[in-house]
Amino acid sequence: MGDIMKKYIFIILIILIFISLLNTKKELKIKEQRSIFISYIELKSYLNTDINTSKKNIKTMIKNIKKYKFNTIILQVRSFSDSIYKSNIYPWSSILTNEEGKYPGYDILDYFIKESHKENILLYAWINPYRVRLNTDIKSISTKNPAYKYINTDIIYVNNGIYYNPAKEEVINLITNGVEEIVKNYKVDGILFDDYFYPDNNIDIKDYNKYKKNNKITLQEYHLNNVNKLVEKVHKVCMKYNTKFGISPDGNIENNYNKNYADVKLWCSSNKYIDFIMPQIYYGFYNETKDFRKVIKEWENIIKSNLGLHIALAFYKSGKVDKYAKSGSNEWIDNNDIIMKEIILSRNLNNYKGFALFRYDHLFNNNYKNVNSVKELENIKNIINNN
């Protein structure tokens, strides 16, 4: 091989390495991911104001999160078929301006990402895929909303809220395209779906009845398959842009199959669907129905791949009655170290990558604080410092 040929090969290798570096997102090296959920409730409270105050509030949120050594923000970017970022698919969220489609003056997501990354804090975009409204007010859907053109069709479902029909190919494509728009245009570190999938059994009953004429399948299997199609497709898009994709399902595994139709066992047995799972294990140690120790073991046992396991914890219960815990309903009142102990226990799990606390206001907003929650936060700070 001549010297000229060697030089050409060397140059080509350098170019390929350079292209590879350009296409690789910078990823912070984090030993334990410590996440805080920021929901549309916080966004409405802190960002529905003038631009300067809004930006100041974002910086304050990030400052508070960094102070306690949390390193990841899970930001709700689409809660009602809308967006807090510049989108060609979804309208600007009404939570920002009280009017759907009205520009809030700056790109909220872009600003959040830049300010978070300045502080070495990861930012995951949190999406509620199917929900259009919590109420049944069709008139509140603006002409800019993709749901508008589906009014009075079976592609959206109106009953105790307004939802996209998971059985429809148009819906799967809409949600997937919306995810691709984010991961293509924004330097998010991950995409997260929450636990809201099927609102009830009747949303796609016509589609099921038509489908089962030629296919032997139960309604449950049909629902699970529809969600799986979406999850697999979204995962492929996220892989294309080197962005992690995960889901935060109901902590009760049975509910995922009998109520939400989230096939968590399948997702946790393969790398085909998600990169991480973040079950909402919102239980204490004395919950009569679901004891925290048993539930985290159940989740550990269904993971059959190298999937990352993050444990979402109910910080919002600190100092409050847990009415669904039955005989353990006063546990969060009688104790102020529950979350701390849950984090310590979770660290011993296989595949453990971190924890997430729901949600920001309950940690940092004085109107939500109580004696127990203040102590809980200090306890968490101590075990983070010692880790």
Give the pLDDT of residue 48.
97
CA atoms within 13 A on the CB side of 98: 4
Query: What is the secondary structure of 349-363 as a DSSP string?
Result: STTEEEEEES-HHHH
| Share above pLDDT 70 across residues of the chain, in percent, rounded to a whole number | 92
Q: What is the pLDDT of residues 309-361, one digit of tens each?
A: 999 999 999 999 999 999 999 999 999 999 999 999 999 999 999 999 999 99
Check pLDDT > 90 for residue 287: yes
Ramachandran angles phi, psi of 45, nearest 5°: -70, -40
Q: How many Å apart are CA 121 and CA 176, to the nearest integer? A: 26
Other CB atoms within 10 Å distance of the CB of residue 88: 9
Give the pLDDT of residue 197.
92
Check pLDDT > 60 for residue 26: no
- Read off the pLDDT band of 305 (50, 70, 90): confident
Pick 255 or 23 by higher pLDDT. Answer: 255
User: Cα–Cα distances in Å, from 22 out to 25, 109, 191, 232, 250?
Assistant: 8, 22, 21, 26, 37
Which amino acid does the sequence have at 71? N
Check pLDDT > 70 for residue 44: yes
Name, in order, each residue with C-beta under 8 angstroms of 355's C-beta and a sequence gap of 6 or more: 32, 33, 34, 35, 310, 311, 312, 313, 342, 343, 346
Ramachandran angles phi, psi of 109, nearest 5°: -60, -45
Give the pLDDT of residue 251.
98
Q: How many Å apart are CA 47 and CA 42, to the nearest integer? A: 8
Judge contact between 381 and 343, C-beta under 8 A. Answer: no
* Tokens encoding 67: 């102070």
* DSSP three-state, residue 17: helix
Check pLDDT > 60 for residue 382: yes
Q: How many Å apart are CA 142 and CA 99, to the nearest integer? A: 9
Give the pLDDT of residue 386.
73
The residue among 59, 178, 77 whose CA lies nearest residue 124 is: 77
Q: Where are the domains of the chain?
A: 35-130+166-385
Over residues 48-75, mean pLDDT: 98
Give the pLDDT of residue 30.
76
Fold annotation for 35-130+166-385: TIM Barrel (3.20.20)
Which amino acid does the sequence have at 315? F
Q: How many Å apart are CA 353 and CA 150, to the nearest integer? A: 40
Ramachandran angles phi, psi of 321, nearest 5°: -75, 135
Over residues 113-121, mean pLDDT: 98
Largest CA distance in the chain: 82
- Read off the pLDDT band of 24 (50, 70, 90): very low
Give the pLDDT of residue 25.
47
Mean pLDDT of the chain: 94
Alpha-carbon Rg for the chain, nearest whole angstrom, is: 22
Ramachandran angles phi, psi of 277, nearest 5°: -120, 140
Over residues 189-201, mean pLDDT: 94
- What ranges make up the beta strands (E) of the chain? 33-38, 72-78, 122-127, 131-133, 156-158, 162-164, 190-193, 244-247, 276-277, 308-313, 352-357
CA-CA-CA-CA dihedral for 216, 219, 220, 225, to nearest 10 = 70
Check pLDDT > 70 for residue 65: yes
Handedness of CA 21, 22, 23, 28 (dihedral sign): positive
Check pLDDT > 50 for residue 181: yes
Over residues 213-220, mean pLDDT: 97
Question: Of the ranges 17-21, 107-111, 225-229, 277-281, which one carries the lowest mean pLDDT score?
Answer: 17-21
Q: How many Å apart are CA 39 and CA 75, to the nearest integer? A: 6
Over residues 220-238, mean pLDDT: 98
Q: What is the pLDDT of residues 2-21, one digit of tens each?
A: 555 555 545 554 444 444 44
Give the pLDDT of residue 47.
98
Q: How many Å apart are CA 152 and CA 95, to the nearest integer? A: 25
Over residues 21-40, mean pLDDT: 74
Give the pLDDT of residue 385.
82
* Tokens encoding 114: 């830049």
Distance of alpha carbon 16 from the chain centroid: 34
Question: Of the ranges 23-37, 71-85, 131-145, which one carries the lowest mean pLDDT score?
Answer: 23-37
